Amino acid sequence: MINKRVFILFTFLSLFLSLQAITAQEDQEKKVLLTKLIPKIQRQFDVVFSYVDHTLDGIFVTPNTKSTALQTILDGFESETNLRFTLINKRYIAITVFKDEIQELDEVYLTEYIASGISANRNGQISIKPKNFGILPGVTEPDVLLTIQALPGISSINETISNINIRGGTNDQNILLWDDIKMYQSGHFFGLISAFNPYFLKKVTVTKNGTSAQYGDGVSGMVQMELDQTLNDSLIAGAGMNLIHVDGFAKVQLSKKIELQASARRSITDLVETPTYAIYFDRIFQDTDITNSNQELNNATSTNRDFYFYDMSAKLIYSISKTANLQVRFLNIFNDLSYTEEATINNQQLVVNSGITQRNFAAGLSYTKEWTPTFLTEFHAYTSQYNLEATNYNIADNQRLFQENDVQDNSLKIHTKNRINENFTIENGYQFTEIGITNIQDVSNPQFRSNRKDVMRSHAIYSELSYYSDSYRTMLTFGIRGNRYEKINRFRFEPRIHFRQQFSDYLSLLVLGEYKSQAFSQVIDLQNDFLGIEKRRWTLANGTSVPLIESKQASIGMQYTKNNLLLSAEAYLKEVEGITTRSQGFQNQYQFVNAVGKYTTFGMDVLFNKKWHDLNIWMSYSLSKNEYKFESLNNGMRFPNNLDITHNLTLGGTYSWKKFEFSLGTYFRSGKPTTGVNSPAIVNNEINYNTPNTENLEDYFRTDFSSTYRLTLSKKKKIYSKIGLSVWNIFDQQNVLNEYYNLDNEIVSQVQNRALGITPNVSFRVDF
């Protein structure tokens, strides 16, 4: 009850602060944000702007509607701002601040990659700016981990955001950084909704290969979520709601040097049961103890199901001087489900309470000092605490099972950056990390208790050299990272490289490569652990049964962009060693086997994107082959990975008309591998399985639709609103996500988990 009151008070406080500060804003009707004009200018003149994000924060300019000359427009911008617009070649324009001595071109964008707010930079990374996000099929809000699934090479095998698969890897092989803090929980509603408020984020960067040497872990990929790094010029605030949750945020200047940012989001699921909530509930809790418990006793009933989630975050930015900056931030993510079961046994009425809670608390501090215009240092420190608890009462056996998984991650990092000259930049650093993981299991009947804690300390040093040619057509970054893992006494060098060559104004080549490692992973002991909802628990490498996970990957790609047409193709090869069967989620003959092996995946990611005025269409396609090799399984022969999806195709389009925006898209992928049953179905009291993963489920097919309508509530006070409607799976396709078999009383039964059916949602937002 206290959480509800805190959330309501926090939300209304944010709105109050927003409304109070709006009246003090200056009337800038004739001016618009430069960031809003840049995409239009790029389309009109077929040019690309290069700039550091914060350079354009809060910069307003007067649109020159009379001039058709690019240079005249740029000269006008220079006359009313402190910005310099430098033409590097016929197509690329660098935006820098006049006080800079050296032009530092950190980002070159191919704008509106698939949708507005999504772009590709020079390193092959994908950037998403939630503030500029337009619309995608089935999505009216910029849910971070849902949005990135529209990118080639990224999908979710079970349709949740807590199981993102990047080029055939499992979710625990991705590293999630929230403002440079490592996160161990990614979803609300146990995986259906991203746990990170997108409206509070400045930018999200997705890396599939060629990771910078300053980052460790994440052998499959990295998702970086960044908050504002500098002060905003004015108040920024907003609030909204949909059929699942409400949220609000505000970024308020406390003084000329200090800014406080805060956001809060809370579900309405325990207050009102909307149709969307009912569909979500049935989807996420199918074939779990929540739905299966009543089948054990015919006279058992479940009552008072109570589920809710929330997240709260805040950041304080202190601009000590023009060359020094201090930042403090925190984030708290929480999910809670509780339910009551009643039954009459031996004429005695029994009432028991079961439930599961999941939380991730994170706090961080960073200090940046620019000693000279070409040299700076950064200090980062954070703590990230993850906790998963479940209490499960079995009325029939009079048994209580308590399970807990705890992670404590503390890290210190020192980073330096030195611009040697206009062509070379070198970055160096050191990082210390200590991760402690505790697993507890307590059974009441018969009495049993297990409490195990493991700690891994690691040290890393890294160095990275970047080269930019004078024409900015050749870019090369080479880095190396050395990791020392104390517990398992391992030292590993990890080279990283990304190379980009611009052959013309429209055609470029991209070569990427990396070696990476990580000492933590998620495993499944039993499929019904944690009530069958969050089956995976974090664990550390021990050098034997759970080895260090090591990966190596190489890719080569081409990009062509001209006249609002983008064509890109990238071929890759990736090998990941040190995986265990417990981390792969087998539900066949290998479910209770503990073996160590590897997987190899290779394929190609292709994207086609074309814009005609208000129409934008795209096609992303991934072709891949993903195979396991365990020396002790399947006679040492390779067999298909549980995540082996041969074909993955997305077709979509958006259309803007006046204040409306519409989006329609179709998603198709090959059926995931599965293991069938032989005849006879039972041999030696066990299920007689076929060769592993030699069959496939039916192909997955889904079509989504979404639409938004934008309103200007007050142009003078800059109050805007947006109404959104989305329909997930508009044809109500009955897709099977998973299939396995159970043996009960000498009877083999087939179990199928199905995807979301037709799922509508409505949203409304107000931004200031």
Read off the pLDDT band of 98 (50, 70, 90): low
Give me 657's structure tokens.
């008309």
Confidence check: pLDDT of 17 > 80: no
Q: What is the mean pLDDT of residues 362-373?
A: 95
pLDDT at 65: 61
Confidence at residue 29, expressed as pLDDT on a 0 to 100 scale? 45
Tell me: pLDDT of 292 over 80: no
CA distance 554 to 548: 20
Q: Is the pLDDT of residue 428 over 60?
A: yes
**CA–CA distance, 536 with 668 (Å, rounded to integer):** 27
pTM of the model: 0.88
Question: What mean pLDDT is predicted for residues 548-565?
Answer: 93
- Residue 90's pLDDT is 67
Please determine, for residue 587, whether its predicted confidence score (pLDDT) is greater than 90: yes
When pLDDT is averaged across residues 79-103 and rounded to a whole number, the result is: 73
Contact 612, 572 (CB under 8 A): no
Q: From CA 136, how far away is CA 654, in angstroms rounded?
A: 7
% the chain with pLDDT above 70? 92
User: Considering only 55-59, 276-280, 583-587, which range has the smallest mean pLDDT?
Assistant: 55-59
pLDDT value at residue 100: 43
Helices (H), 206-309: 275-284, 289-296
Q: Residue 632: is its pLDDT beyond 70?
A: yes
pLDDT above 70: residue 457: yes
Residue 211 has pLDDT above 90, yes or no: yes
pLDDT band for 520, please (50, 70, 90 cuts).
very high
Q: Looking at 243-252, 267-276, 477-486, which range is the least confident one?
A: 267-276
Which amino acid is it at 32?
V
The pLDDT of residue 39: 82
628, 570, 629, 581: which is closest to 604 by C-alpha? 570
Does 16 score more than 50 pLDDT?
no
Lowest mean pLDDT across 202-211, 227-236, 409-418, 684-693: 227-236
**How confident is the model over 322-336, as a mean pLDDT?**
96
Which CATH architecture describes the domain 2-6+119-767?
Beta Barrel (2.40)
- Residue 596 confidence class, pLDDT cut points 50, 70, 90: very high
User: What is the architecture, at CATH level 2, of domain 10-118?
Assistant: 3-Layer(bab) Sandwich (3.55)
Between 257 and 300, the higher pLDDT residue: 257
Task: Please give the pLDDT value at position 66.
Answer: 62
User: 733-747 b/e with 16+ CB inside 10 Å = b?
Assistant: eebebbbbbeeeeee
Bridging pattern class, strands 221-226 and 174-178: parallel
Q: pLDDT of 258-280, one tens digit each?
A: 999 999 999 998 888 899 999 99
Q: Write the pLDDT tens digit of every residue in 725-751.
A: 999 999 999 999 999 999 988 899 999
Question: What local confidence, expressed as pLDDT, does residue 403 receive?
Answer: 96
What are the extents of the domains in the chain?
2-6+119-767, 10-118
pLDDT of residue 81: 82
Helix (H) or strand (E) holding 492: strand 490-502
| % of the chain at pLDDT higher than 90 | 66
**212-219 mean pLDDT:** 96
Chain centroid to Cα 400, Å, comes to 35
Question: 455 with 487: CB under 8 angstroms?
Answer: yes
How much is the average pLDDT of 358-379? 95
pLDDT range class, residue 26, cuts 50, 70, 90: very low
Both structure tokens of 157: 């095998």
Q: How confident is the model at residue 412 (pLDDT cuts 50, 70, 90)?
A: very high
CB neighbours (10 Å) of residue 753?
Answer: 15
Residues 445-459 have a mean pLDDT of: 94
What pLDDT band is residue 111 in, cutting at 50, 70 and 90? low
What is the reported pLDDT for 705? 97
Reported as a pLDDT band with limits 50, 70 and 90, residue 51 is: confident
pLDDT at 58: 72
* Residue 524 contacts residue 534 (beta carbons within 8 Å): no
Query: What's the pLDDT at 73?
Result: 87
Q: What average pLDDT does this structure show over 346-352?
A: 81
Per-residue confidence (pLDDT) for residue 77, from 0 to 100: 87
Please write the tens of the pLDDT for every residue from 178-194: 999 999 999 998 899 99
Range from 79-83, 338-342, 523-527, 724-728 that averages highest in pLDDT: 724-728
Q: If 0-12 CB within 10 Å is exposed, 13-18 middle and 19+ buried, where does residue 155 land?
A: buried
**Least confident span in 13-27, 108-122, 448-462:** 13-27
Quick one: tokens of 523?
A: 């495993």
Identify the residue with better confidence: 132 or 319.
319
Measured torsion, CA atoms of residues 760, 756, 603, 208, in degrees rounded to the nearest 10: 60
